[in-house]
Structure 1
């Protein structure tokens, strides 16, 4: 997972570097200004030599070099012209026929398919495009007989009769063409027929005003058609420097990430060794061990999800057709395996009707899972916090039975095992109900062990869920964390069972009464607890659960009863329980009494380290 996250961060930077490299070109010299001969014209954009990459020039501006080091411009229809000079500022190229016989190529000199146009010279006399008609005449025809322009070189190359051209200013009717036959007509600039060289020009739109602005022109990469762009001179060098710097930082970043991945993997390996050592010592206590492939088969590849929490996701599974299980897949990115060891090491040695049974576990590398007995009615939370009318179908007698079952389960944890187990996360969500609504305590990820003659534990950080955490777990001003911290959490749970809502709910309005304080005031004023009461007998049960809950949430641990006393209070018949002191009274009003309680608490509890 860490490697995938690193790749997601590094790959965009890597591709950016590749893009910069592509803009520069794989070889910075591949578009360097070349020439065919030392005295020949420089060849640069939009021209390119045919042996250069395609992006070095614009389409239609191909130039080749002959063996004689002539610079040849290649035009459509196999027209080849020798280049005398290229003026990039005025966008003009001066050309002539390589064999000084342009007339033999005139018929194919069609510039409509090329990016060039004829350049008309207007420096002295205005020039124009004229229509010429070409005739082939017998060899005995003399030029002086009529005003024709003789093109003798053509007959030299093609071994034909002499070729004559007649401009449009001449009326053909005036000429004796009896020994001639008409060949074709062409529109050409004035003077090109008998001239030795001429000029072509190309459109400014190819590069715009790049040269005028002191910039370079180049062909855009990755564009659908041939498009150009202007870049400042020296930008390639700047891009290259930027690319090198970026590449350096990417390399440093990758090294840091790989180092972190290595350290993380090393930490995971240490955790795996730690867990394997624990499981080696744990073999005698049983629950079966499964591989991760077994877990996938048991859950039908995680098909039926039951719920999700901070430490993992719970799926429904089958050990056989008759035995259903709940399998919690622990997050491999959370903690160092402490929660897994707590669960297996604690719940694996417990056998009580009110504590969920651990059937098996999986420790396959960083993949860890816990397999519990399946409880079809899910958690108590679903029944006491729902706004549905069906919520209260359990009835007050069943709520009392559930409360007694939870209390007996916690008492067993505190007194019934070889070592005292402190749960530190008693809440409705961690109370599961079987098919007969018998409660079972679950989720021992935050549990701690201590010997029975040592009652307090020290903690570096608070454990539990807000709303159920005892005051001494949050602040040592109230004493030290101990088994009485579970008593406080149970008291908050009892009051939520009575009230049918969370004692602390961030979604309610701030001016809404705090239920535990409100219900204490009701009892203190001699009024009964009329909450969802349907029968007269339910009043006594609600009052009993409320009084026991208020005893359990006293601020100082010494004022709370043990779970053994709580069970006795819940099982007592009648409504003769004594109302406890007000746990919400101002602390400052009983300062002396509080100091006495703190000294007494510190004398009673012996602190042990984690």
Structure 2
């Protein structure tokens, strides 16, 4: 037999002897410590195998055989470690990771649901509620108490389940188109301002449409400022009248500057100013309103309408300027002059023809007299009356660029009369004879008549 064969048999015998000893070591450790100690037993038995091979290395015919054995055992150790990590990852780390992932998903979904619910609750508080028509019938008590009527329909008083009183505008389908309805809901649906009437809800069910407003028990402003000629029988004190004017101005200024989108009302007039229990004013009726970006400077003429006597000149002809927020300023100026004069700006029943057009007459009076003057039944003009008139005359400048913005109007109303300068002479307050002025007014009225005036309504406490 060759020496190589003898060496191979000797090496094989040594290897099997050490391997059997390692197997016995593994079996003993596993039996004594249980299956959970299998990784430890495996490492321990392999170490025992290496010790055995090291002790018998002198008997090996090939001296490098032990080195090869160590390398092989090291590779096996690495493979076992990787296998152990894989088993741990699959049977321990994977379930733990899955549980953590499920817990995170549950938590995040729960938080997400809370955020959505909070958003929906906030939206429900801010946005008007949609009612079905049977709800409208129940709220009004089968339309039992009518508050008023007009071209757009009827207004009824009602009460919600919470006990809150509301005014419900039932719209006539032929008179109130879909665009006006959308304007009304979208414009004031999200507005929350002390001087803007609040839209509580709406109804749109087939051809039946209704708008549910907060109830304004004192009705509209026109029935108070036109209730008596002159200043002696006014229902409001001058201080109160100034507060009402200031409240209206703040409401319009909020529409122009306080919202995400600039809101142009296009129908400011006494009839659309409602009063609460304490005669605090609120701007209402946004059927003609339009929404524009705050930096939007060009408004289409075709998109605008208004009421004769309050509509700005640029809404008739671009020769007077562009249509903008200054158009509402003009309407407010006409409103302010009617509040100050206690009469409509154009009153053909006046005995004195010079007083037919109030803005022209009051401008002449203010321009010709630096001190106290007597107007309206020989009553001395009040300081606040002078201030309201001056601010109103600033607002009705024919060129829109010459009018102040609403925030400037608020500032003027909050200030003293002495700080107000006399405005330039408006177009209708020229020095021409009275007959020429009336002719000019009539021709302008004919031009304005091309813009239809829709009959409106107000509601008051019965």
TM-score over 0.5 (shorter chain): yes
Name the CA distance, whole Å, in 2 between partners of 1:285 and 1:564: 26
Aligned pairs (5 A) from 1:156-555: 286-320=127-161, 322-387=163-228, 392-460=234-302, 462-505=304-347, 511=353, 512-527=355-370, 528=372, 530-531=374-375, 539-555=382-398
1:579 equivalent in alignment to 2:416: no
The alpha-carbon deviation at position 386 of structure 1 amounts to: 1.1
TM-score of the pair, normalised by structure 1? 0.48
- CA-to-aligned-CA distance 1:514-572 (integer Å, 9 cap, x gap): 11000000110125454569998x71101100000000000000000000000000000
Structure 1 pair 457–579 and aligned structure 2 pair: CA distance change class (3 A): same
Q: Which runs of 5+ in 1 are unaligned?
A: 1-281, 590-610
Equivalents in 1 of 2:266, 2:339: separation in Å? Answer: 19
Report the alpha carbon displacement of residue 313 of structure 1 after superposing the two structures with TM.
Answer: 1.4
**Higher RCO (CA < 8 A, seq sep 6+):** 2
Q: Does 1:563 align with 2:398?
A: no
- 1-side partners of 2:385 and 2:127: how far apart? 42
User: For residues 403 and 526 of structure 1, what CA distance do their matches in structure 2 show?
Assistant: 25
CA offset at residue 464 of structure 1? 0.8
Contact 2:397/2:403 (8 A) holds in 1: yes
1:40-86 CA-to-partner distances (Å, cap 9, x unmatched) read xxxxxxxxxxxxxxxxxxxxxxxxxxxxxxxxxxxxxxxxxxxxxxx
CA distance in 1, matches of 2:350, 2:203: 41
Q: Could you tell me how far 1:334 is from its partner in structure 2? A: 2.1
Question: Could you list the per-position Cα deviations for residues 269-304 of structure 1 after superposition, in whole angstroms to 9, with x for gaps in the alignment?
Answer: xxxxxxxxxxxxx98962111111111111111111
**Alpha-carbon distance in structure 2 between the residues aligned to 1:348 and 1:419:** 13
SS of structure 2 residue aligned to 1:406: helix
2:349 and 2:356 in contact (8 A); partners too: no
Give the Cα–Cα distance (whole angstroms) in 2 for the partners of residues 364 and 409 of structure 1: 31
Contact 1:300 1:317 (8 Å CA) reproduced: yes
Q: Deviation per CA, 1:211-251: give whole Å up to 9, x if none.
A: xxxxxxxxxxxxxxxxxxxxxxxxxxxxxxxxxxxxxxxxx
Alpha-carbon distance in 2 for matches of 1:464, 1:394: 28
Cα drift, residue 310 of structure 1 = 1.9
State the SS of the aligned residue for 1:398.
helix
Q: Structure 1 residues 443 and 399 mapped into 2: Cα distance closer, same or farther (>3 Å)? A: same
Q: What pairs up with 1:51-130 in 2 under 5 angstroms?
A: none
SS in 2 for 1:581: coil
Cα separation, 2, equivalents of 1:450 and 1:284: 25
Q: 1:585 to 1:372 in 2, by over 3 A?
A: closer
The Cα of 1:456 is off from its aligned counterpart by 2.9
1 or 2, which has the higher strand percentage? 1
Q: What root-mean-square deviation, in Å, do the aligned CA atoms of Structure 1 and Structure 2 show?
A: 2.7
Q: In 2 relative to 1, CA 525–448 (structure 1 residues): closer, same or farther, beyond 3 Å?
A: same
The structure-2 alpha-carbon separation of the partners of 1:391 and 1:301, relative to structure 1 and needing over 3 Å to count, comes to: farther
1:12-39 per-residue CA deviation (whole Å, 9 max, x = no partner) reads: xxxxxxxxxxxxxxxxxxxxxxxxxxxx
Instruction: Provide the rounded CA distance (Å) in 1 between the counterparts of 2:430 and 2:362.
Output: 20
Distance 1:586 1:359 in 2: 43
Paired position in structure 1 for 2:436:
none
Q: Structure 1 317/507 Cα, relative in aligned 2: closer, same or farther at 3 Å?
A: farther
| Structure 2 residue runs without a partner (length 5+) | 1-122, 433-462
Aligned residues: 307
Q: CA deviation at 1:505?
A: 3.9
From the two aligned structures, give the one with the greater helix fraction.
2
